Structure 1
Amino acid sequence: MADNSLPQTVVSCETIVEIQSNGAVEAPFSAIISKIPRFPLNLKGFGTDRGYIAPRVVSIGPYYHGDPKLREMEEFKCTAVHHFFKGSPEKQDKYKEKMISPIASDARGYYDVLEGISDNELCNIMLADGCFLLQFLDYMTGGTSPEEDKWLGPKIQQHYMNIMGDMMLLENQIPWPVIEGLMDQRGLTTERIAHWLTRGLNDNWSKDDKAEIPKNWKPSHLLSLLHFCKVGSKNLPEPTDKKLSAVFTGAAELAEMGMKLEACNTKLFSDISIEGHFFGKLSLMPLSLDPSSASWILNLAAFEMCMATNFGASNYVNAYLSVVALLIEKEDDVCVLRTKRIVTSSMSNKETLKFFKGLAPVLMPGVAYLLFTQQLEDFKRKRWMRIAIYRFFYTNAKAIATVLSIIGVLAGIFKTLLSLKQK
């Protein structure tokens, strides 16, 4: 029996337009210039309760700069800058003047509000945060020297999980030009960073996997780089029926249809597919879920909401989460997804269920979800006879088994009587 607390999801193009026109988020959907906006209002309650919005140990960017709770890591950033420029104030000042200062005025366009922060202070923030972030990434990807490991390693190992979560918060970002300008100093590349980031959300990641970044494409910040790596550049087709309102009740309906679940080999949120001839197969990206990756996932969904255009055409993370939420109606469904290796979670079944069910009502799945439900409806329409027959046997399996067992008993009695009569 399905959990009645999980509402059915009804999505249409008109619904998507209505959600956007009502201003469900703080940052306008058309305001693409604001590349590091504040967290969307409709996700704020869910994110705040779980600590997925504000940083725990380190601020990156101006939004949380100066927070007393983050003072320990703020002091450590000074050490990071000192080591980054090998103890040379001259190199530091030269780099700040040549690379960081020209970015400062443009950087203001990345943020919603920067009241009370001068250009010079913004330069200092970006320099310190950039140096710390690059050294953390270099350390995590195995690029630091033994000498650096001595002073950098103990601090990172102490706060490793919290830093991992903080660096992917939507409100805790610095413009990519700052990161890119510092990468050459460390020998880091975008591909190397992207390659390491992708392993954080996939259980089937291997060291041979490579992130392909187009040469003519630049991310807005680190979170947008992760989004590109996990979504790709897939172009969505137009829905064949823009008035379609697709109602999908979840795992129970799929089971009645004979639809099998399978983890696909790819590692993109956008790879949701339905295929099969006699019966169907629903393939989803395998997802590794823990408190840190859960924060990444929520912030990826928030980033999509703030950047959405064309009815949320690129909201693949929102669509993926919506589909998984529909597949999970009770704790037993979490076990099924674990068995299929679609969701591997370090959290309990109850916590995993609570995460997806709590998130589902505030997501904005957009056209990607609409197309998925439309594909499902097309599958049902073309195979309605097969599905009806399968559903009859599926829903009456116990009754049919009982009848067959009774027939078996009666057949045995009849056979015994017949043998006695012959004797």
Structure 2
Amino acid sequence: MVAVFNKELLSWYLITLKLRETVQQNVANGLEEEPVDEEQPETVISEPDPEWVITIREKLQQSLEEDSSASWGKLCIYRIPKCLRDSDDNKTYVPQIVSLGPYHHDRKKTFRDMEHHKWRALRRILERTKQDVRQYFHAMKDLEKRARECYEGIISLGSDEFCEMMMLDGCFILELFRGAVEGFTNLGYSRFDPVFAMRGSMYSIQRDMIMMENQLPLFVLERLYALQEGDSNKGSMVAKLVLQFFDPLMPNDEPLVCNRFQAADVFDPLTEGGLHCLDVFRRSLLRSGPSEPVKVPKVWRRRRSRTVHAADKRRQQLVHCITELREAGIKIRKRRTDRFWDIRFENGFLRMPRLLIHDGTKSLFLNLIAFEQCHLDCSNDITSYVVFLDNLINSSDDVSYLHYRGIMEHWLGSDDEVADLFNKLCEEVVFDINESYLSTLSEQMNDYYNHRWNTWRATLKHNYFSNPWAILSLLAAVVLLLLTFAQTFYTVYAYYKPPN
């Protein structure tokens, strides 16, 4: 130990030691609290987010979930877009007698009577096949996820309710199909049955069943039909049943249609992936019957256009109306074929197949157009045909001339109603004119129309060769003109060279 004899020096020494201990202790404490200082911002209580921020985040999260769970590529049964829906006439798109599928399932009070007949059909099937209803229900359970993906939007029905609906509606549809082909009495129904009999109400049921919002996936009908027949390979028969059941709705009544189902090369939409009854019916319209070689409308594009353009409403005028075409010398004639869309133009002759217009034509064409507008993997052939007719028909005179030529037959009140029908069919409908199968034909017609000599020749024929009296008057005028010219010539000739 060091002895310190100076008291002042001892005091300073003790103070220095004390200060040293204090500094070392503070430094140690600072090192221990340093991590706490780094985490300090997390412990600070921030202000809560405003309510609008929370709402937006919830909606964005919901959109993310819907985007990740949606299978857009499997959609095939759509709701009618608001831009196409005619608010003045709900009968066009909305079923009036029978509801099929989930879109109008909540209108049970409206279709209460038909729901009773659906259960009758299911009971009759079970009695005839000696099968248990659990087989059909479990089959629908297996197809539930795939079936839900075919419909647009979220289907609010529970699992059991959805499967029951598909089973009930599917069996009802198949019973109608089989009854129309095999005969309802052969299926055990009375000939006085209010629904399962070939009577006037069947046409209204057919019109409801062809609507786009009133469809069931075709694979559901195939599975149910295979269960009824006890053979998984029998499902392919459903497409042929669809064509036979909806044959009365065909917009063409040529005799060739009668042989459609007796030919070996009958249309089979399963080879092309039929989606539902409306799709099968549309595909059958665009295919030929057995009388002529198969010719499917081919999509035509302008070669000079390499860029993809949006559809332009201003460019949907394809051709002039019938009256103007006739003034330009174009002759309209009937063409005998069961393919109502197969229009030809050669050497100034426009040849068109016969078209039958009835009270269900409007709903049929509008639902076909709506399906083509909604389904991306679908051509616009029906839309192109209807737009072409809309261009041809501007007034009742155009309809009257088509009727005179046997091209258009209608069961409506007057020609004015037919003209108004086609002028309204294409309202709010937009399609790319370059993808119309009638684009080449339209260009040929417009080139012929714009040639002045054709117009002059047509005017001459119309004014001077329209009837025998006009022809005689023209011949008399020509003879008189020649005689006058001869008299003038000889008078002048005699003046310059008088006779000797």
TM interval, short-chain normalised: 0.7 to 0.9
Q: 1:126 corresponds to which residue?
A: 166
How many angstroms apart in 1 are the aligned matches of 2:376 and 2:323?
Answer: 31
Q: Deviations over 1:45-81 (max 9, x none)?
A: 27x5251111101001011113111111011111111
Alignment of 1:330-349 (within 5 A): 330-348=395-413, 349=415
Whichever residue aligns with residue 204 of structure 1, its letter is E
Displacement of 1:193: 2.7
How many angstroms apart in 2 are the aligned matches of 1:390 and 1:339?
Answer: 23
Of the three residues 96, 109, 119, the one matched with 1:56 is: 96
Displacement of 1:88: 7.5
Where does structure 1 lack aligned partners over 5 or more consecutive residues? 1-29, 416-423
Q: Deviations over 1:299-327 (max 9, x none)?
A: 11111111145xx7x21111111111222
Q: 1:93 corresponds to which residue?
A: 134
Change in Cα spacing, 1:180 to 1:209, as seen in structure 2 (3 Å) is same
Q: Which segment drifts farther, 207-216 or 381-390?
A: 381-390
Change in Cα spacing, 1:152 to 1:136, as seen in structure 2 (3 Å) is farther
Whichever residue aligns with residue 108 of structure 1, its letter is R
* 1:176 is aligned to 2:218: yes
Whichever residue aligns with residue 420 of structure 2, its letter is K
Q: 2:488 corresponds to which residue?
A: none
Change in Cα spacing, 1:368 to 1:166, as seen in structure 2 (3 Å) is farther
How many angstroms apart in 1 are the aligned matches of 2:118 and 2:177?
Answer: 14
Alignment of 1:247-262 (within 5 A): 248-262=319-333
CA RMSD of aligned residues (A): 3.5
Alignment of 1:176-255 (within 5 A): 176-184=218-226, 185=228, 188-201=237-250, 202-205=252-255, 206-210=257-261, 211-213=266-268, 216-232=271-287, 233-242=296-305, 248-255=319-326
Secondary structure of the structure 1 residue equivalent to 2:299: coil
8 Å CA contact 1:34, 1:109 repeated in 2: yes
How many angstroms apart in 2 are the aligned matches of 1:84 and 1:152?
Answer: 19
Q: 1:19 corresponds to which residue?
A: none
Q: Deviations over 1:278-337 (max 9, x none)?
A: xx222334222212233122111111111145xx7x211111111112222221222222
Secondary structure of the structure 2 residue equivalent to 1:283: strand
Q: 2:384 corresponds to which residue?
A: 319
Q: Deviations over 1:95-150 (max 9, x none)?
A: 221x2211111111111134420121111111111111111122222344445231
Q: 2:55 corresponds to which residue?
A: none
How many angstroms apart in 2 are the aligned matches of 1:290 and 1:193?
Answer: 21
Q: Which segment drifts farther, 145-154 or 73-82?
A: 145-154
8 Å CA contact 2:318, 2:442 repeated in 1: no
Displacement of 1:153: 3.9
Alignment of 1:249-288 (within 5 A): 249-268=320-339, 270-276=341-347, 280-288=348-356
How many angstroms apart in 2 are the aligned matches of 1:195 and 1:399?
Answer: 47
8 Å CA contact 2:333, 2:350 repeated in 1: yes
Q: Deviations over 1:218-240 (max 9, x none)?
A: 21100000010112354313223
Whichever residue aligns with residue 302 of structure 1, its letter is A
How many angstroms apart in 1 are the aligned matches of 2:179 and 2:434?
Answer: 37
Displacement of 1:196: 4.3
Whichever residue aligns with residue 33 of structure 1, its letter is K
* 1:393 is aligned to 2:456: no
* 1:405 is aligned to 2:473: yes
Q: 2:293 corresponds to which residue?
A: none
Change in Cα spacing, 1:350 to 1:147, as seen in structure 2 (3 Å) is same
Displacement of 1:158: 5.7
Displacement of 1:397: 5.2
Whichever residue aligns with residue 384 of structure 2, its letter is A
Change in Cα spacing, 1:255 to 1:88, as seen in structure 2 (3 Å) is closer
Q: Deviations over 1:27-56 (max 9, x none)?
A: xxx95522001013332027x525111110
Secondary structure of the structure 2 residue equivalent to 1:94: helix
8 Å CA contact 1:105, 1:119 repeated in 2: no
Of the three residues 110, 113, 131, the one matched with 1:69 is: 110
Secondary structure of the structure 1 residue equivalent to 2:84: helix
* 1:294 is aligned to 2:369: no
8 Å CA contact 1:289, 1:345 repeated in 2: yes
- TM-score, normalised relative to structure 1: 0.78
Q: 1:17 corresponds to which residue?
A: none
Q: 2:150 corresponds to which residue?
A: 110
How many angstroms apart in 2 are the aligned matches of 1:160 and 1:253?
Answer: 42
Secondary structure of the structure 1 residue equivalent to 2:345: strand
Change in Cα spacing, 1:125 to 1:250, as seen in structure 2 (3 Å) is same
Whichever residue aligns with residue 391 of structure 2, its letter is L
How many angstroms apart in 2 are the aligned matches of 1:152 and 1:393?
Answer: 64
How many angstroms apart in 1 are the aligned matches of 2:397 and 2:455?
Answer: 25
8 Å CA contact 1:261, 1:283 repeated in 2: yes
Of the three residues 346, 355, 374, the one matched with 2:421 is: 355
Of the three residues 180, 188, 191, the one matched with 1:148 is: 188
Displacement of 1:353: 1.6
Secondary structure of the structure 2 residue equivalent to 1:61: coil
Whichever residue aligns with residue 352 of structure 2, its letter is L
8 Å CA contact 2:242, 2:280 repeated in 1: no
- TM-score, normalised relative to structure 2: 0.67
Q: Which segment drifts farther, 400-409 or 168-177?
A: 400-409
How many angstroms apart in 1 are the aligned matches of 2:135 and 2:466?
Answer: 81
Whichever residue aligns with residue 294 of structure 1, its letter is K
Of the three residues 176, 181, 202, the one matched with 1:160 is: 202
8 Å CA contact 1:319, 1:368 repeated in 2: no
How many angstroms apart in 2 are the aligned matches of 1:327 and 1:163?
Answer: 32
- Aligned residues, how many? 378
Higher alpha-carbon Rg: 2
Q: Deviations over 1:351-374 (max 9, x none)?
A: 212211112333334347755344
* 1:35 is aligned to 2:76: yes
Change in Cα spacing, 1:241 to 1:203, as seen in structure 2 (3 Å) is farther
Secondary structure of the structure 2 residue equivalent to 1:51: helix
Q: Which segment drifts farther, 87-96 or 343-352?
A: 87-96
8 Å CA contact 2:101, 2:165 repeated in 1: yes
